[in-house]
Structure 1
Amino acid sequence: MTKMQREIKPVRLRLELISDYCHSDEKVMLKRYGESSSGDRITREVLIPSDMTLHVLHYAMQKLFGWQNSHLRQFNLPKDVYQELTQGTVKGWSDLVGVLFQPPSEAEHDVFWDDDYDSGNFNAWLRRKYTGPYQYGGYFEQSDVARADVNQLLDRFEELEIQEPFSDYLKRKQTDPAAKPKVLGKKALVDMTLDEMNAAIVMESGTESLMESLVITDVLGYADEELSGSGFPVTQALYYEYDYGDSWIVKVTKLESCEDLVADHSVTQEEVDAAREVVLTKHKPVCLSRDGVDVMDDVGGLSGFANFLRAINEPEDKEEAADFRRWARSMGWKQKKIVPKKML
Structure 2
Amino acid sequence: MRNDINETKDKITPVCLHLELKDDYLSDYQKRMLRRYGESRMGESITRDIFIPSDMPLHNLHYAIQKLFGWQNSHLRNFYLPEDVYNKLTGGTVKGWSNLVGILFQPPSEAEDDIFWDDDYQKGSISTWLKKKYTGPYSYGGIMEHPEIAKQDIQELLDRFKMLEVRESLTDYMERSKQDKNDEVRIIRRAPLVELTLEEMNSSLVIESGTESLLERLEVNKVIAAQGENIDSKELFPVTRELIYNYDFGDNWIVTITKHKDCDDLLKQNIIDEYELEEAKDTVLNKYKPVCINKDGISVLDDVGGLSGFADFLGTIYEGEDKEESADARAWARSLGWSSRKVSNKMML
Distance 1:264 1:188 in 2: 56
- Cα deviation for residue 93 of structure 1 reads 0.3
Given the alignment of the two structures, is residue 244 of structure 1 paired with residue 249 of structure 2, yes or no? yes
TM-score (structure 2 length as normaliser): 0.97
Among residues 276, 279, 283, which one is paired with 1:271 in the alignment?
276
Q: How does 1:241-320 map to 2 (within 5 A)?
A: 241-320=246-325
Among residues 45, 68, 71, which one is paired with 2:75 in the alignment?
71
Contact 2:5 2:138 in 1 (8 A): no
Contact 1:107 1:204 in 2 (8 A): no
Given the alignment of the two structures, is residue 3 of structure 1 paired with residue 6 of structure 2, yes or no? yes
- Cα deviation for residue 109 of structure 1 reads 2.3
Distance 1:150 1:19 in 2: 34
Contact 1:158 1:189 in 2 (8 A): yes
Report the 3-state secondary structure (helix = DSSP H, G, I; strand = E; otherwise coil) of the residue aligned with 2:241: coil
Contact 2:241 2:258 in 1 (8 A): yes
Among residues 81, 87, 90, which one is paired with 1:83 in the alignment?
87
Deviations, residues 64-90 of structure 1 (Å, cap 9, x unaligned): 000000000000000000000001100
Distance 2:65 2:246 in 1: 11
Distance 2:111 2:268 in 1: 43
Report the 3-state secondary structure (helix = DSSP H, G, I; strand = E; otherwise coil) of the residue aligned with 2:7: helix
Report the 3-state secondary structure (helix = DSSP H, G, I; strand = E; otherwise coil) of the residue aligned with 1:109: helix
Q: How does 1:2-21 map to 2 (within 5 A)?
A: 3-5=6-8, 7-21=11-25
Contact 2:5 2:139 in 1 (8 A): no
Distance 2:138 2:150 in 1: 21
Among residues 149, 165, 168, which one is paired with 1:164 in the alignment?
168
Query: What is the match of residue 324 of structure 1?
Result: 329
Report the 3-state secondary structure (helix = DSSP H, G, I; strand = E; otherwise coil) of the residue aligned with 1:62: helix
**Number of matched residues?**
344
Query: What is the match of residue 115 of structure 1?
Result: 119
Distance 1:74 1:2 in 2: 20
Unpaired runs of at least 5, structure 2:
none
- Cα deviation for residue 107 of structure 1 reads 3.8
Amino acid at match of 2:313: F
Amino acid at match of 1:261: L
Distance 2:143 2:348 in 1: 31
- Cα deviation for residue 262 of structure 1 reads 2.0
Query: What is the match of residue 205 of structure 1?
Result: 209
Query: What is the match of residue 60 of structure 1?
Result: 64
Contact 2:5 2:140 in 1 (8 A): no
Amino acid at match of 1:193: T
Amino acid at match of 2:45: R
Distance 1:308 1:168 in 2: 39
Report the 3-state secondary structure (helix = DSSP H, G, I; strand = E; otherwise coil) of the residue aligned with 2:231: coil
Unpaired runs of at least 5, structure 1:
none
Report the 3-state secondary structure (helix = DSSP H, G, I; strand = E; otherwise coil) of the residue aligned with 1:195: helix
Distance 1:177 1:258 in 2: 58
- Cα deviation for residue 2 of structure 1 reads 5.8
Distance 1:284 1:16 in 2: 20
- Cα deviation for residue 157 of structure 1 reads 0.6
Distance 1:290 1:323 in 2: 28
Query: What is the match of residue 240 of structure 2?
Result: 235
Given the alignment of the two structures, is residue 27 of structure 1 paired with residue 31 of structure 2, yes or no? yes
Report the 3-state secondary structure (helix = DSSP H, G, I; strand = E; otherwise coil) of the residue aligned with 1:83: helix
Given the alignment of the two structures, is residue 334 of structure 1 paired with residue 339 of structure 2, yes or no? yes
- Cα deviation for residue 19 of structure 1 reads 1.0
Report the 3-state secondary structure (helix = DSSP H, G, I; strand = E; otherwise coil) of the residue aligned with 2:201: helix
Distance 1:108 1:293 in 2: 30
Distance 1:289 1:259 in 2: 14
Distance 1:169 1:189 in 2: 21
Report the 3-state secondary structure (helix = DSSP H, G, I; strand = E; otherwise coil) of the residue aligned with 1:152: helix
- Cα deviation for residue 162 of structure 1 reads 0.8
| Larger deviation, residues 263-272 vs 320-329 | 263-272
| Larger deviation, residues 82-91 vs 4-13 | 4-13
- Cα deviation for residue 207 of structure 1 reads 0.1
Distance 1:107 1:25, change over 3 A: farther
Contact 2:6 2:137 in 1 (8 A): no
Distance 2:272 2:279 in 1: 11
- Cα deviation for residue 223 of structure 1 reads 1.6
- Cα deviation for residue 114 of structure 1 reads 0.1
Amino acid at match of 1:292: G
Distance 2:341 2:105 in 1: 39
Distance 1:172 1:2, change over 3 A: closer
